[in-house]
Amino acid sequence: MHAHGSSPASRPAAPPRAQAGLARARILGTGAFLPPFVRTNRDLERLVDTSDAWITERTGIRERRLAPEGTTTSDMGAIAALAALDMAGLRATDLDLIVVATVTPDMPMPSAAALVQHKIGAGPCPAFDIGAACAGFIFALTVAEQFIRTGKRHRVLVVGGDTLTKFLDWTDRKTCILFGDGAGAVVLGSDVAVDAQDRPRGVLSTSLSTDGSLVPALYIPGGGSAHPPSAATVEGRLHFIRMNGQEIFKHAIKNLVSASHAALDDAGMTTAGIDWVCAHQANKRILDQVAIRLGTAPDRMLSNIDRVGNTSSASIPILLDESVRAGKIKDGDTVLMSALGAGVSWGGAVVRM
């Protein structure tokens, strides 16, 4: 999207205004990866008591992708990252920070970010994970852009990747129909540029929130320090997602709207100034309600839920990348992002490309 080539020898120096704290984090490139294996609603009809008609009508999902055995979150994240670097015209060695949003890292330690760093040939540079489930990408974007705003870092990779289908109970029709696997990435650069209309570009604002009293609405009980892995936790199916769909549905509509308004207010904007809404793809009915409450025209709501389902923290960066590569989102367009997931955590962001 924007060519910012540089070699290790010319590792980016802080632009003077960045040191004065005026830099913004601009998206220099986007990338995504979806595993090739497709599971359709018809396939699910053979696994649980459901129907293509019910899933399509109640969720908008027609098919989703599954990471095969042996394919990990960091594998997918690394491919998405290389695509984003390529679009940015940068090399992995140009990166000075890597943040990966995931709740399904390859293993409890080290971070998926450390594995992504190694797989793409980056570093040494700090690399760490952020866990905010389906809201993870907004949390990671916020952390990354703070590093850029303060002038501490200048070329940051943000990845959102999850393999939640490995944590689904394929006998539970209330959850197994919803999720898919994938990864998306953005490369952020510190930038003081303005667009053709003299407007600032990059991450203009973000808004984050968590309400821990809602933990029981969506969680994986086993595998952590509360219930370390054992034969009993496997027997008790504690490693699978448990969700109160109706409760999450209600909070999603309310908080995707409130996070959007908070981010818009912080940017000094209203929905009238937004070209595209790139919201977490959890359920088409949630997206329709959010559009109505924000007063956004349906054709401004980006969506790929029919093809990918809910890909958790990969949802926004995959949709962003597809929309950029399809030529829908163009340079200078203003994008409103919002997401909600387990925690319950939610967030919003306004980004000018």
Q: Which residues are catalytically annotated?
A: 134, 280, 310
Q: Does 248 bind ligand UT7 (CB under 6 A)?
A: yes
In whole angstroms, give the CA distance from residue 251 to residue 243: 13
Contact of 37 with 68, CB cutoff 8 Å = yes
User: One symbol per residue from 66 to 105: x for binding ligand UT7 (CB under 6 A), - otherwise; what is it?
Assistant: ----------------------------------------
Q: Which part of the chain contacts ligand UT7 (CB under 6 A), choosing from 47-55, 66-74, 79-87, 103-111?
A: 47-55
- Of the two residues 82 and 252, which places its CB atom closer to ligand UT7 in the complex? 252
CA 247 to chain centre: 22
Determine which residue in the list 152, 173, 227, 242 makes contact with ligand UT7, applying CB under 6 A: 173
Task: Tell me the residue nearest to ligand UT7 as measured from the CB.
Answer: 245
Cis status, amide bond into 221, omega within 30 of 0: no
In whole angstroms, give the CA distance from residue 102 to residue 83: 19
Q: Which part of the chain contacts ligand UT7 (CB under 6 A), choosing from 50-58, 71-79, 264-272, 345-353?
A: 50-58
Determine which residue in the list 260, 283, 296, 311 makes contact with ligand UT7, applying CB under 6 A: 283
- Per-residue burial over 114-131, b if 16 or more Cβ lie within 10 Å, else e, is bbbbebbebbebbbbbbb
CB of 124 to ligand UT7, least distance (A): 34
**Ramachandran quadrant class, 89 (left: phi over 0; alpha: psi -120 to 50; beta: rest):** left
CA angle 246, 254, 268 (to 5 degrees): 160
Number of residues in contact with ligand UT7 under rule CB under 6 A: 20
* Positions in the binding site for ligand UT7 (CB under 6 A): 50, 54-55, 58-59, 134, 173-174, 177, 218, 245-246, 248-249, 252, 282-283, 310, 340-341
